[in-house]
Amino acid sequence: MVSIPHRKSIWVFHLNSGACNACDIEIIDAITPYHDVERLGVKLVGSPRHADAILLTGPITIEALPKVVRAILAVPEPKIVIAIGSCACGGGIWRDSYAVLGGVDRLYTYLREHGIEPPITIYIPGCPPKPEAIVYALAMVRGLVEQKQKKIEYIEKPSIEVVEYIEKLSKEAKKDLEKFFKGIEVR
Amino acid sequence: MGRTDLFSKALSTKVVTKKYPFEPVEVPEGFRGKPIIDPDLCTGCGACANACPPNAISIEDDLENSFRIVKIYIGRCIFCGRCQDVCPYQAIKLSREFELVARDREDLVQVVKLAMVRCSLCGKPFTTIRLFMKVINELPPESRALATLCPSCKAKVSAYGTSFARR
């Protein structure tokens, strides 16, 4: 569950900020009778003032930025932003382009600079994500399923034999090189 | 088709809606899902970071603690599978996982920290132990000394060597 107010039906507003249409088609696919997110209480509305959540697609082009900010501000509290696709999550292949802001993270730094506290965000990576992934995200917002993703961290501990072998090798190498370059400092 | 035919067809059609979040769903064959690094096989060579179109994979050297950090941020990944194609040790593979929803950006990160070898002259870490061991086993014993040097020290040593040879 993401937050207590979002346990009930969430109405969503679809906001395209310069996406290529792939993620938008997947959103439409999630609304069709085959996947049918309306059984989870999710409804597509035509105005951000009626919505609880924003389905944000696209890498947020500079041209779309003022409209995106206005749409996010128009959503009543408690609001939630669902970033759909790699572009919205982290900029995707446009991350370095001069024409885009590059993902919600940079949008939030922009909002913080202007004194606006960023809303709760759900990330759905994928290029585009499967409609099932979008359904899963909306079910997670409702508190019906749990988040599966976790940070994975691995720190290598090399075996003592290997470390000793390398130390021995570098000692020998140092001795050899000092003999070879006698009187000359190699730094 | 008359109106009654349409009505009877609508009645005979069963429910098509999937019960998805409550029932698991099969992904099609050849589906490219979340890329996962096998930390036991990865050598930190950086081929995947070079090939990655959106730079979702990054490689940094932590010189103080002598670690090479391979970091993959799935939020930027476009699931093209090039990392899987270029990996020489088949360490990174695209799984069939697609429920990658996360509340926090950090949940979408996989970090692999690999221990590094220090240069025998200047003491600066320059390559991972795994990559070093793979190279050292291929070399003849007399040239193993040069392999323990970092690239800049190696250049200096070879330059001194050639200048002495000319005298």
Rounded distance between C-alpha atoms, residue A109 and residue B76, angstroms: 18
B85 has a pLDDT exceeding 60? yes
0.90 exceeded by pTM: no
Q: For residue A184, which residues of chain B lie inside 8 Å, CB to CB?
A: 160
Q: Which two tokens stand for residue A40?
A: 């989870």
Q: What is the reported pLDDT for A185?
A: 56
Q: Which two tokens stand for residue B113?
A: 């920290």
The ranges assigned to domains in chain B are 28-117
Q: pLDDT, tens digit, for every residue of A136-172?
A: 999 988 888 888 888 988 998 888 888 888 888 888 8
Cβ burial, residue A154 (10 Å; 0-12/13-18/19+): middle
The CATH architecture to which B28-117 belongs is: 2-Layer Sandwich (3.30)
A25 has a pLDDT exceeding 90? yes
The ranges assigned to domains in chain A are 4-142
pLDDT band at A183 (very low <50, low <70, confident <90, very high): low
Q: What is the reported pLDDT for B112?
A: 92
Query: How many residues are recorded in chain B?
Result: 167
Q: Which amino acid is at B71?
A: K
A13 has a pLDDT exceeding 90? yes
Rounded distance between C-alpha atoms, residue A17 and residue A54, angstroms: 11
Other beta carbons within 10 angstroms of residue B143's beta carbon come to 9
Q: What's the average model confidence in pLDDT over A28-49? A: 90
From the list A1, A155, A87, the residue with the least C-alpha distance to B69 is A155
Of the candidates B67, B105, B130, the beta carbon closest to that of A105 is on B105
**% pLDDT > 70, chain B:** 97
Residues in CB range of A23: below 8 A, 6 or more apart: A57, A58, A84, A85, A87, A88, A128, A129
Omega before A128 within 30 of 0, i.e. cis? yes
Nearest CA in chain B to A174: B120
Of the candidates B17, B105, B156, the beta carbon closest to that of A34 is on B17
The CATH architecture to which A4-142 belongs is: 3-Layer(aba) Sandwich (3.40)
Asked whether the beta carbons of A131 and A35 are under 8 A apart, the reply is: yes
A187 has a pLDDT exceeding 60? no
Q: ipTM, 2 decimals?
A: 0.85
Q: pLDDT, tens digit, for every residue of A132-146?
A: 999 999 998 888 888
Rounded distance between C-alpha atoms, residue A80 and residue A118, angstroms: 9
Contact A127 B79 (CB under 8 A): yes
Alpha-carbon distances, residue B158 vs A184, B43, B144, B164 (angstroms): 13, 27, 14, 10
Rounded distance between C-alpha atoms, residue A147 and residue B5, angstroms: 46
B161 has a pLDDT exceeding 80? no
Helix (H, G, I), strand (E, B) or coil at A11: strand
Of the candidates A123, A145, A180, the beta carbon closest to that of B21 is on A145
On average, the pLDDT of chain A sits at 87
Other beta carbons within 10 angstroms of residue A67's beta carbon come to 13
Report the range of poorest mean pLDDT among A1-15, A17-31, B24-38: A1-15
B1 has a pLDDT exceeding 70? no
Q: For residue B122, which residues of chain A lie inside 8 Å, CB to CB?
A: 187
Asked whether the beta carbons of A100 and A18 are under 8 A apart, the reply is: yes
Rounded distance between C-alpha atoms, residue B69 and residue B62, angstroms: 7
Q: pLDDT, tens digit, for every residue of B45-77?
A: 989 999 999 999 999 998 888 899 999 999 899
B163 has a pLDDT exceeding 90? no
Backbone angles phi, psi at A185, to 5 degrees: -85, 125
Q: What's the average model confidence in pLDDT over A116-130? A: 90
Q: What is the reported pLDDT for B21?
A: 86
Asked whether the beta carbons of A132 and B20 are under 8 A apart, the reply is: yes
Report the range of poorest mean pLDDT among A176-185, B123-132, B152-161: A176-185
pLDDT band at B82 (very low <50, low <70, confident <90, very high): very high
| Location of structure tokens 């220090």 | B118
